[in-house]
Amino acid sequence: MSVIWVCGVDEAGRGPLVGAVVAGAVVLDPAQPIEGLKDSKKLTPARREYLYEQIMQKAKAWGIGEASPLEIDQINILQATMLAMRRAIEDLTTRLGAWPDKALIDGNRCPELPISAEAIVKGDAKEPAISAASILAKVTRDRQMQILHERHPQYGFAQHMGYPTEAHFAALKAFGVCDEHRRSFAPVRKVLEAL
């Protein structure tokens, strides 16, 4: 009887006005359980970082995929999310040495894949492998936003992570749009149209 590998898949960064949408994919190893996996949004940043390292060390395989702001603008955020998820599973596949048998996708739709896939609404709270994927995606994206903050400190990305907050809107008004902003998103488009 061969082992069946199931990977959990989740994304971070659908809502922000800037940066990539990032997806994680994880196959957990039953022989090395990871305590405390849950939806990344319900964890403190320090706890997420700790679990991120645990997942890297103990998971059977993991993968990260992303779609750039340009891709988001070209194909829309939903399609870009599906693309990032597929890329995460492909990345995981290179580490696993084969496609997993099944993918459990957080949300209500699945990317096109050559394997069986199931969409699970609020899956990051129900399936540990999806929780692990959500942590990988969130930590990876948060780290990208820290780098972006160092490049463009005037926008305050380290505080709001690119989400549409009052502070972000104020910075957009004051400083305009940077290269990494998603031009197809309404608040960014408005700033560009006002030029």
Q: List, in order of start, the domains of the chain with CATH numbers.
A: 6-153 (3.30.420.10)
The string of pLDDT tens digits covering residues 11-58 is: 999 999 999 999 999 999 999 999 999 988 899 999 999 999 999 999
Mean pLDDT over each residue of the chain, to the nearest integer: 96
Share of the chain above pLDDT 70, in %: 99
In degrees and rounded to multiples of 5, residue 69 shows phi and psi of: -55, -40
Cα torsion angle, 155, 162, 176, 82, sign: positive
The string of pLDDT tens digits covering residues 138-186 is: 999 999 999 999 999 999 999 999 999 999 999 999 999 999 999 999 9
Mean pLDDT of 81-102: 97
Question: pTM of this prediction?
Answer: 0.96
